Amino acid sequence: MTDWATISSLATAGGTLVLAVATFYSVRSANRAARSSERAIQVGMRPVLFASRYQDPKQKIRWGDDHWAAVGGGQAVVDSTNGVIYLAMSLRNVGSGLAVIHGWRTEPGVLPLSPTSSIDQRRAGLVRPDTDQFRLQGRDLYVPPADVSFWQAAIREPEDPDRAATVEVIEQRGTLTIDLLYGDHEGGQRTISRFMVTHVPGNDTDWVCSVVRHWNLDRDDPR
């Protein structure tokens, strides 16, 4: 005799299982679509800072003490005047979102990446700096997407821990490492970009800058 109660229960259970599987894949597909949409939105807001191009226009920069400087495309300012060290770089945002610069740090010398550098030296030169090592900007600095702007800072205090090393770079016409911490206009997608500022031989006042490394803070690095 056919046990219709058992068959009905099994059919119900099978239908429930099919519905559960369909719901699972539907939710997973929706989550993938949501993540893809979120990534697309983030890419649309993501800034990426580089040194500006040499053909980009010259920019006039003013500090709070009414000190002025002009910086051309791909160039930097590394200057000591009346006991104050003035720093600036001409930047281009190659990303699609507005860049807001949060902070900066300096380090004398160049990354140890020569062919004779040891593996430990190379790794040490590519370690991402901690965010607590950065100085906050005295004012907000913005770099619009697909356009140029600048970064500026100053070392004013005689006892500043970076003063002696920076003065030596200026006097020796050496190289200065500058790290910039920035993000999008909503405060996310924080990035650290490392720049090398190098003196141009044969000219006492010309310095050029180039970016050598990017680190992502709020998402995985691509390497």
Q: What is the pLDDT of residue 45?
A: 76
Residues 6+ apart with CB under 8 A from 212: 111, 194, 195, 196
> CA quadruple 186, 179, 220, 147: dihedral positive or negative?
positive
Domain spans of the chain? 1-45, 46-216
Residue 205 and residue 170 in contact, taking contact as beta carbons nearer than 8 Å? no
180-206 CB burial, b ≥16 within 10 A, e <16:
bbbbbeeeebbbbbbbbbbbeeeeeee
Residue 201 corresponds to which tokens in the numbers above? 């031989």
pLDDT at 7 over 70: no
Say what the pLDDT of residue 28 is. 64
What does pTM read for this prediction?
0.78
Give dist(CA 97, CA 42) in Å, integer. 9
Mean pLDDT (whole number) for 20-37: 59
Between CA 23 and CA 184 the distance in angstroms is 36
pLDDT tens, position by position, 53-109: 999 999 999 999 999 999 999 999 999 999 999 999 999 999 999 999 999 999 997
What is the predicted pLDDT for the residue at 149? Answer: 97
Q: In the prediction, which pLDDT does 113 show?
A: 47
Q: Give the DSSP per-residue string, 71-120.
A: E-TTEEEEEEETTEEEEEEEEEE-SSS-EEEEEEEEEES--S-STT--HH
Q: List pLDDT tens digits, range 167-192.
A: 999 999 999 999 999 999 998 999 99
Q: What is the SS3 assignment for 154?
A: strand
**Percent composition of the chain: helix, strand, coil (DSSP 3-state, to 5):** 30, 40, 35
Asked whether the CA dihedral 30, 33, 39, 41 is positive or negative, the reply is: negative
